[in-house]
Structure 1
Amino acid sequence: MAGWNTKRKFWTETSVEEQGDGFAVLLDGRGVKTPAKTAVIVPTRAIADAIAKEWDAQVEEIDPLTMPVTRWANAALDKVALQHAEVADMLADYGGTDLLCYRADNPQELIARQAELWDPVLDWADEVLDARLNPIHGVMFQAQDKAALERLRQRVHAFSNFELSAFHDLVSLSGSLILGFAAVKKLQPIEDLWALSRVDELWQEEQWGPDEEAQILAETKRNAFVQAYCNFKLCHV
């Protein structure tokens, strides 16, 4: 069946078909499959349409790097669906060492900037997610409130396979469980949330100047973060 076993384009027509409770992407009437041979049946028409658009855009050879929605669906079907609880627990664990909680102990200017930008997000998490996480100055581990972490854990476990697959990238790329929730709940524009995850790096750039390699890597991560947000939104269109 249509999938990743060939690099050359082998179809002429791409379509979407409702199947059961989901939607399948068809290439010349044959269903697309994941690398693990799982049928690509997705929960919303919007996801299926986005995948179909990616396949339709291929010219002579299939380039997975130009197909981020397809790759996300593959991860949801081949990985998250098989270990949902393990992935959820891994992401929930970020709450115990959340980026927004670990603050500099000097210089004073950086301490003030972190407080100005990060404290409102922690206040939002307390109000909206019922989870108060406390700032910690320095690098020594300090435990957060267990009940707050458990409430966050339950929220992560409640995500569907496709939601959790997108949420994985939001959390792992930013280093923050709270910023992941802020993204899916649209607390701020996604670009602003990404900037919040890079407060320390941007501070270093101001002091020492930009590093070209680091900027290239940061841009790659930014694109992936924004794409993960777009993917999550497709679950609710």
Structure 2
Amino acid sequence: MSLALRLAVRARPSPFPPCRKLLPLPVTRSLHNSPADSATPLPITAHGPPPKPPVPAASEICELRRRQKAERANPGKKLWKEVRVEKRDSGLAILLDKLPIRTPLKKAIVVPKNKPLLADAVALEWSLLNSAQDALTKRYRTPLTQLAARVIDMHEPNTFTPSRDATIKSAMGYLNTDTLIFCAPTTPKEHRHPNKKTLRELQVAEAKPVVEWLTTVLWPRTVIEYNNGDFGITATAQQPSDTEKVIMGWLEGLTDWDLVALEMATLSSKSLLIGARLVAEWSSDVGVGGKSWGIEEAARAASVEVRYQTKIWGEVEDTHDVDKEDIKRQLGAAWLMALGGAR
């Protein structure tokens, strides 16, 4: 093709529309200036399914509720079908079907024949258990069983069961700091209310009849000194040596069942004198009680200061009301241990 023809073709208009001019792309900027690292793939060496994602730890209360719900759904199995009390020559045995309940030292629990209510109460504890595991993990549901086992294993002292002499010594340790005979300091006149008794007056009014009964009926011609708060909170009155000897001799003469009952009452009320009167009033072996002073009176004598303070400042819910019923429960267990009667 000649040069003139080629120039004529170029001058001819194109049948295609003209191309639009492309706009430049926007410039991208990184959020940081650190260079990107290239990934290094590693070989897969794990076997099996991938692990489960982590789960946040539950609180203690949620875990407790979960266990309780599981126990209610699957309470387990009882190893016995019947709980009954059987009369034997040695006393009243509590049987799970045909096997007796045993102490930690593998001795059969046999209650004296003159304590039928205690035997029935121990049998009731085991009747109310949901499973055999409850007997091991929920010991708070079998308090009377533990006290009975404490009596039977007492003559073979071990880590969990102190000896009879150790029990007497522990009870005597409460005498000089006894709750019943402690009197608060005298309230100044400017702080007294004309129509209300002071704490000291309430304490004396509660302790006086108990001390008079102990020093005239149970331990005649003995003298029990009060702890006077006017001399200081830490000042304690030493009881006369003759009084200590009389009380020690009385403790040594108690049966094992009455001694453990006294120990339970003393620990719950923080008062040896309250425990002594409760046991002496109801024990068939002591034989001096008129059965006119019981659990309610003992709990009242042991909680004079608490009742005085809550009357002024109010009662804390789930604290004072629970403590008030709990001390009655513990004193009731001591009362059942000491109680005697024909079946």
* Structure 2 length-normalised TM: 0.61
Matches within 5 A, 1:15-34: 15-34=84-103
2:99 paired with 1:42? no
| Paired residue secondary structure (2:174) | helix
Letter of the 1:196 partner, please give it.
A
- Are residues 8 and 148 of structure 1, via their aligned partners in 2, closer, same or farther at CA, if it must alter by over 3 Å? farther
Match of 1:3 in 2: none
Match of 1:116 in 2: 205
- Conserved? CA contact 2:295–2:328, under 8 Å: no
Match of 2:336 in 1: 230
Question: Once the 2 structures are TM-superposed, how far is the Cα of residue 236 of structure 1 from its aligned partner?
Answer: 4.5
Match of 1:194 in 2: 299
* 2:150 maps to which of 51, 65, 75: 75
Query: How far apart are the structure 2 equivalents of 1:96 and 1:236?
Result: 34
| Paired residue secondary structure (1:96) | coil
2:131 paired with 1:51? no
2:219 paired with 1:135? no
1:158-189, Cα deviation, whole Å (9 max, x unpaired): 12222211111111111111111221214523
| Paired residue secondary structure (1:16) | strand
2:257 paired with 1:162? yes
Query: How far apart are the structure 2 equivalents of 1:121 and 1:15?
Result: 39
- Conserved? CA contact 1:15–1:29, under 8 Å: no
Question: What's the Cα RMSD here?
Answer: 2.3
2:308 paired with 1:203? yes
Query: How far apart are the structure 2 equivalents of 1:154 and 1:126?
Result: 15
The number of equivalent residue pairs is 230
Query: How far apart are the structure 1 equivalents of 2:141 and 2:186?
Result: 42
Letter of the 1:52 partner, please give it.
A
- Conserved? CA contact 2:225–2:238, under 8 Å: no
2:105 paired with 1:105? no
- Conserved? CA contact 2:225–2:237, under 8 Å: no
User: Larger relative CO (CA 8 A, sep 6+): 1 or 2?
Assistant: 1
Relative to total residues, which structure has the larger helix share, 1 or 2?
Answer: 1
Question: Once the 2 structures are TM-superposed, how far is the Cα of residue 200 of structure 1 from its aligned partner?
Answer: 0.9
Query: How far apart are the structure 1 equivalents of 2:323 and 2:149?
Result: 24
| Paired residue secondary structure (1:134) | coil
| Paired residue secondary structure (2:173) | helix
> Any stretches of 5+ residues in structure 1 without a counterpart?
1-6
| Paired residue secondary structure (2:236) | coil
Runs of 4 or more, structure 1, over 4 Å off, are none
| Paired residue secondary structure (1:152) | helix
Question: Once the 2 structures are TM-superposed, how far is the Cα of residue 150 of structure 1 from its aligned partner?
Answer: 1.4
- Conserved? CA contact 1:190–1:229, under 8 Å: yes
Question: Once the 2 structures are TM-superposed, how far is the Cα of residue 50 of structure 1 from its aligned partner?
Answer: 2.9
* Structure 1 length-normalised TM: 0.86
Match of 1:84 in 2: 164
- Conserved? CA contact 2:299–2:327, under 8 Å: no
Provide the identity percentage: 24
Query: How far apart are the structure 2 equivalents of 1:193 and 1:69?
Result: 19
Question: Once the 2 structures are TM-superposed, how far is the Cα of residue 203 of structure 1 from its aligned partner?
Answer: 0.9
